[in-house]
Structure 1
Amino acid sequence: MRQNSTGRRLFHYALLYKKTIITALVLLTFAVAAELTGPFIAKKMIDDHLMGIESPWVEVGKKDNEAVLYNERYYKKSSNLKEDDAKGDANLQIVQVGRSFYVTTEHLTYDGERLIQNNNILTVSTGTEKATYEVEKLSQQELIAFYQPEIRPIILLLGFYAGLLFIAALFQYGKALMLQKAANRIIQKMRTDVFGHIQRLPITYFDNRPAGKIVSRVTNDTEAIRELYVKVLATFFTSSIYMTGIFVALFFLDAKLALITLLLVPIILIWTVLYRKLASTYNHLIRTRVSDINGMINESIQGMPIIRAFQRKNQSLKEFETLNEEHFIYQNKLLSLNAMTSHNLVNVLRNVTFVVLIWYFGGQSISAAGIVSIGMLYAFVDYLNRLFQPVTDIVNQLAQLEQARVASGRVFELLDEKGEVVDEGELPRYEGNVCFDHVSFSYDGEHEVLKNISFQAKKGEAVALVGHTGSGKSSIINLLFRYYDIEKGSITIDGMNTRDIPRQQLRRHMGIVLQDPFLFTGTIETNISLDNPVITKEQVIKALQDVGAQRFIEKLPNQYDEPVLEKGSTLSAGERQLISFARALAYDPAILILDEATANIDTETEAMIQQALNIVKEGRTTFIIAHRLSTIRNADLILVLDQGEIVERGSHEELLNLKGKYYQMHQMQLGKEISQVG
């Protein structure tokens, strides 16, 4: 059922560019038809012109281009006679015996083994029957004279076939170009769909999936599907049309033998089904290992400083070699399957077919009636030889077909993941009054990380969240951004339940600065505006000035157009954080979240940001997650969390006077020895 669904969806993508594909198939049909005229033309040349001189020759009264002078009389091949030709009484028939040609005035009633006796007696025997004829040997000049009328038709046929091949080459070029174009368009659309869908996937999807594995589906798997459209389907289309044309031609030549050769079609279909079952397991394992390898490479590159610092190079190499060796083993098993079957199958089919051909023509066609011509035999052998090329192409593409099918399943599995609804509507900038009302939350549905959280943050206030690691600080921010939805309690902004606000509109008026800022490849300006046309360069500059980043930017060679490499590797941690601050401020959020935003910044830079924040937090609600309590001294409300619960709340001075957990944390950071409270 899954395979059928995958096939239908691949077909649906192909339908998006059906005009191009249909045009390519029409061109292919004409090209195949032009190519397949070759054996017919060869048959006509052999039977009608090369071997045609053995046809009966009739005496005519006058000379023309088709008449031959022999013994002072003009003769024409019976097939070339016209209505106005004056026929005489004499008839001839030319007979080839070995490499010599003889002429007789009698007509051979049947054909068989030919033998010349006494230089002028021809004996034709087949089975128990024997006939004799009186003959006269033709000289070389006389033989050339009988062939002379055939030269022009042969040249015309050769020229006609050469013209057809030229046209076929043009059509084949057009077919290949259009199929490639359609395939590239299909994969372009598919990759866009996959990448766009990744943008809509909820954060939960990425929690337990390495980035490299997701990247593998967007790149490696879609590339395998591209090969499906470019090579596999193109081969199947080409081979199917080619085989159809050959079978049509065989039916014209001999319907009985054509029916026998049709047995190849169910054999190929049965083999395709069996092969897919045998190869499916290996292909699944191969694609999985490719995904694992991508995931590990991505992780190793990102963690290279740690690998070097803790001397994990050899261990990482061993882990990679293990995955690489498993990939090699499964690839070899698949290659062994292909080697044992694909070429052997074609050879067996080819040999069996030629045995049937020999039996059929040898045992039944060579009879006393002499109905089998050399041209017919040549055409059949030529068509059968041509028939096995598309058979070989189809069998050789079965491995690629199975790989593409597995890759398609992985891509469509990702596309089937439920994404968030994208609502492009506009939500007026809200005031920023946030209320958590008895909110409880669990990531896994069993263990609650937040328990009965209630608090209010009014417009213009700064609310700080403090607590030990795992106390639930970041979970509160995740719920505010609706990265996850709650089942107990409610979260409102300006009285509106966040679950009733589309995620995109909700986040449009929020800004966040993370502890480890992420910078994109581009320039400093594009990292702040994120190419949003609404944000002008003047706004970018003002945001940078507000956070105090102007000092280091003025020292850069290109200033605001200074290139930024991946993750901002050429900038210091403090500089990256300042750019991250400026990005959040440039979007003028109603709610600003600082998630350990000053943890990696030196004291001087932190002082600059603190001064800037006193200016920019006016008119917006600010949430601050911090371990360094010095950064939240001026917060309007401090919430102390412990194991998912708010255990203390108040201002800095109020919490210090409580002598509770906040007081302990404060004293520990000051380096004073305190006694355990409670």
Structure 2
Amino acid sequence: MGLQHTAFMEEEVRRGLDPKLARRFLALVWAQRGLVTLSVVLLFLFRLCAVATPYITKLAVDRYMNRPDLPVGDRLSGIQWLAVLTLAVLTVKIFTHYFETVVTQVVGQRIMHDLRLRVFNHLQTLSLSYFSRNPVGRLMTRVTSDIQALNEMFSSGIVALLGDLFMLGGVIAVMFSLDWRLTLATFAIVPLLLGASQVFRTLQRQVHRVSRAKIARLNAYLSENLAGMKIVQLFRREAENRRRFEGYGLDLYRTHMKANLYASVFFPFVDVMRAAGVALVVWYGGGRVVQEHISLGTLIVFISYIDLFFSPLRELAEKYNVLLSAMAAAEKIFGVLDEKAEVLDPERPEPLPDIRGGVEFRSVTFAYEPGLDVLHDISFTVRPGEMIALVGATGSGKTSIINLLCRFWDVRLGQVLVDGTDVRRVTQRDLRRRIAIVLQDVFLFTGTVADNIAMGNREKPRASIEGAARAVHADAFIRALPGAYDAHVSERGSTFSAGQRQLVSFARAMAADPRIIILDEATSNIDTETELLIQDAMRTLLAGRTSIVIAHRLSTIKRADRILVLHHGRLVEQGTHAELLAAKGMYARLHELQFEDEAGARGIVQAGEPSDRA
């Protein structure tokens, strides 16, 4: 199951350790420079204690243990003094390590919090076209595991890397000061280790790139399946989806196993090199001790320093993996932050005062993808307070007209005007606070019923919320809930019936008190009593407001002041129900084919269900 054969796979990451990305990450670290400085100072103290401890052992051996010429009392006194010094150094080492770890984690968590908030806020500003191109699971990966990877780069990578480099420098300096010949002999195996490290890094680089992409693919597929679980179970897709998920999981498993294979070869090789270094020091250094060129304490401290020397080298390879993973994550995260909204507010927006609700489409042509127009030279006017119905088959352009009016997308040619003002000359927030949409697929957020009606507007009085619910007949069922308006709403309102969700959406629109109402009027799978409530709620909601209805019901179409008939993105007819029937055009054919039979049963008009890009 190759990377290139799935819609869930991300673009390939082509960078390794990118200086530009590193600088952008360091800019985030700089914001916490006070704590970072403290963390580095504590880390240096910790590493200094680690380097000092073996040297104290050397002093104990050379000055007291291996000095039979000194009085026993003096030797014991000296050893006791050095033991106390060792204990003091170890105490400082423990405390500096503890506080350095705490401070580093605090800084890492702060960076994660700030970056996660920054990414989330930026996602809120992006146009809907961006979300149509990127699966939810992929974006979830950006905000969660990718940011966690950057935290690991800071807490286990950059700061620890500085500490390792400091300790390497300290160990090398002390070793050269003690005996440069023995030091060079110890370093004889370093070229082999550096060569192996280079091979390991090269092999690991591509594995980490692919691994991050496959994790995002797995998350995207999982997110889609959880969101569509009802359809999955309805069409008995459990086995097939399990097979595909297992395939994606096995693909990721193989990638991780490849990384583990490289690590399982490299790290034992480092251990072998370390053992070879110890053997070399014992052989060459032991000879120099016998020849009395160096002291026994010097040989002992060299053996201890070999561990201190090879441990950072081993960890540097591991930290390189962390850095690779973090660079792959950083490229994705900063890629999101660099994404520009396609629908932008003007630099000098015009004020949009209380509008009357007039809407005009003036020679509008629009395409979601370049060269594939879905609306062609659309022109119509909606007078304030007028109700128009949009009728047409699937893909005729009904939803596209709604998207342009709300400015989720911008027109390619022409203008969309509200009360004579081009919607591109006002802020999106100013425009949308005067428009309310009631969709067929109602989305309720986790929280309370009152929160969903107020849509997060904490300043909206409870009386206004309850009044809106009463006006659309939602009050009765809400008060029957445990907690009434404070009743908990689960994700997407899954514990509510379709009719209840629809009534809450009407109350949400009523509470917003808009001048323009956009309504997807479908009420399928709703019992008769709830349907009657919704129809009455619709009349209440639309009264005195400009309304554009994607019409499915004969009763709604007849009630509309005008009907706009769309076909393949063109406005082919407009007029009243009677006028269009008399014209015997497209609308008359749709009425004959779809409306009359359904009107006899339930009065439902099915002129084609709107799609997200209809």
Partner residue of 1:566 out of 491, 495, 500 = 491
Contact 1:599–1:628 (CA under 8 A) maintained in structure 2: no
Aligned match of 2:362: 437
**Residue 517 (str. 1) matches residue 442 (str. 2):** yes
SS at match of 1:437: strand
Aligned match of 2:50: 35
1:380 is matched by which residue type in structure 2? Answer: F
Partner residue of 1:581 out of 496, 500, 506 = 506
SS at match of 1:459: coil
The 2-side partners of 1:638 and 1:554 are apart by 38
2:213 is matched by which residue type in structure 1? Answer: T
The 2-side partners of 1:400 and 1:265 are apart by 23
Aligned match of 1:115: none
Partner residue of 2:270 out of 325, 330, 345 = 345
Aligned match of 2:103: 178
**Residue 411 (str. 1) matches residue 344 (str. 2):** no
Distance 1:625 1:180, change over 3 A: same
Aligned match of 2:7: none
Distance 1:279 1:240, change over 3 A: same
Contact 1:577–1:597 (CA under 8 A) maintained in structure 2: no
The 1-side partners of 2:294 and 2:182 are apart by 13
2:596 is matched by which residue type in structure 1? Answer: L
The 2-side partners of 1:568 and 1:265 are apart by 63
Contact 1:203–1:483 (CA under 8 A) maintained in structure 2: yes
Contact 2:289–2:295 (CA under 8 A) maintained in structure 1: no
SS at match of 1:532: coil
**Residues 502-534 of structure 1: CA deviation (Å, up to 9, x unaligned):** 222221221111110001111111111122123
Q: For structure 1, which segment, 188-197 or 424-433, has the greater mean C-alpha deviation from structure 2 after superposition? A: 424-433
The 2-side partners of 1:245 and 1:406 are apart by 32
> How many angstroms does 1:397 deviate by?
3.2
The 1-side partners of 2:33 and 2:180 are apart by 35
Aligned match of 1:383: 305
Aligned match of 1:396: 318
Contact 2:358–2:546 (CA under 8 A) maintained in structure 1: yes
Aligned match of 1:313: 238
Contact 2:502–2:534 (CA under 8 A) maintained in structure 1: no
> How many angstroms does 1:263 deviate by?
7.8
Contact 1:247–1:262 (CA under 8 A) maintained in structure 2: no
Contact 1:29–1:241 (CA under 8 A) maintained in structure 2: yes
Aligned match of 1:65: none
The 2-side partners of 1:506 and 1:271 are apart by 62
How much is the aligned-residue C-alpha RMSD, in angstroms? Answer: 2.5
Aligned match of 1:235: 160
The 1-side partners of 2:192 and 2:514 are apart by 67
Contact 2:506–2:541 (CA under 8 A) maintained in structure 1: no
1:408 is matched by which residue type in structure 2? Answer: A
Partner residue of 2:141 out of 188, 192, 216 = 216
Partner residue of 1:11 out of 23, 26, 46 = 26
The 1-side partners of 2:143 and 2:413 are apart by 37
Aligned match of 2:259: 334
User: How many residues are paired up?
Assistant: 580
Q: How does 1:95-110 map to 2 (within 5 A)?
A: none
Aligned match of 2:417: 492
Distance 1:421 1:261, change over 3 A: farther
**Residue 555 (str. 1) matches residue 492 (str. 2):** no
1:436 is matched by which residue type in structure 2? Answer: F
Name stretches of at least 5 consecutive residues in structure 1 with no aligned partner: 55-76, 78-145, 674-678
Q: How does 1:72-471 map to 2 (within 5 A)?
A: 146-258=71-183, 274-348=199-273, 350-354=274-278, 356-358=280-282, 360-362=284-286, 366-367=290-291, 370-419=292-341, 427-471=352-396
SS at match of 1:402: helix
Aligned match of 1:671: 597
The 1-side partners of 2:61 and 2:210 are apart by 55
SS at match of 1:543: helix
SS at match of 2:302: helix
**Residues 48-102 of structure 1: CA deviation (Å, up to 9, x unaligned):** 1111234xxxxxxxxxxxxxxxxxxxxxx5xxxxxxxxxxxxxxxxxxxxxxxxx
Q: How does 1:629-640 map to 2 (within 5 A)?
A: 629-640=554-565
The 2-side partners of 1:21 and 1:38 are apart by 26
> How many angstroms does 1:475 deviate by?
0.4
The 2-side partners of 1:262 and 1:149 are apart by 38
Aligned match of 2:602: none
Aligned match of 2:612: none
Distance 1:599 1:434, change over 3 A: farther
Contact 1:235–1:394 (CA under 8 A) maintained in structure 2: no
> How many angstroms does 1:669 deviate by?
1.8
Q: Please identify which structure carries the higher strand content.
A: 1
SS at match of 1:452: strand
**Residues 246-290 of structure 1: CA deviation (Å, up to 9, x unaligned):** 223223323454466678888777665543432222222222221
Contact 1:272–1:398 (CA under 8 A) maintained in structure 2: no
Whose radius of gyration is greater, 1 or 2?
A: 1
Distance 1:262 1:586, change over 3 A: farther
SS at match of 1:322: helix
Contact 1:280–1:406 (CA under 8 A) maintained in structure 2: no
Contact 1:511–1:593 (CA under 8 A) maintained in structure 2: yes
The 2-side partners of 1:210 and 1:411 are apart by 15
Aligned match of 2:8: none
The 2-side partners of 1:502 and 1:275 are apart by 53
The 1-side partners of 2:465 and 2:454 are apart by 7
The 1-side partners of 2:124 and 2:189 are apart by 48
The 2-side partners of 1:672 and 1:492 are apart by 36
Aligned match of 1:112: none
Contact 2:566–2:573 (CA under 8 A) maintained in structure 1: yes
Name stretches of at least 5 consecutive residues in structure 2 with no aligned partner: 1-13, 600-614
The 2-side partners of 1:407 and 1:427 are apart by 42
**Residue 21 (str. 1) matches residue 36 (str. 2):** yes
Distance 1:535 1:573, change over 3 A: same
**Residues 317-347 of structure 1: CA deviation (Å, up to 9, x unaligned):** 1111111111111111111111122331343
Contact 1:515–1:599 (CA under 8 A) maintained in structure 2: no
Q: For structure 1, which segment, 530-539 or 471-480, has the greater mean C-alpha deviation from structure 2 after superposition? A: 530-539
TM superposition score normalised by structure 2? 0.88
Q: Please identify which structure carries the higher helix content.
A: 2
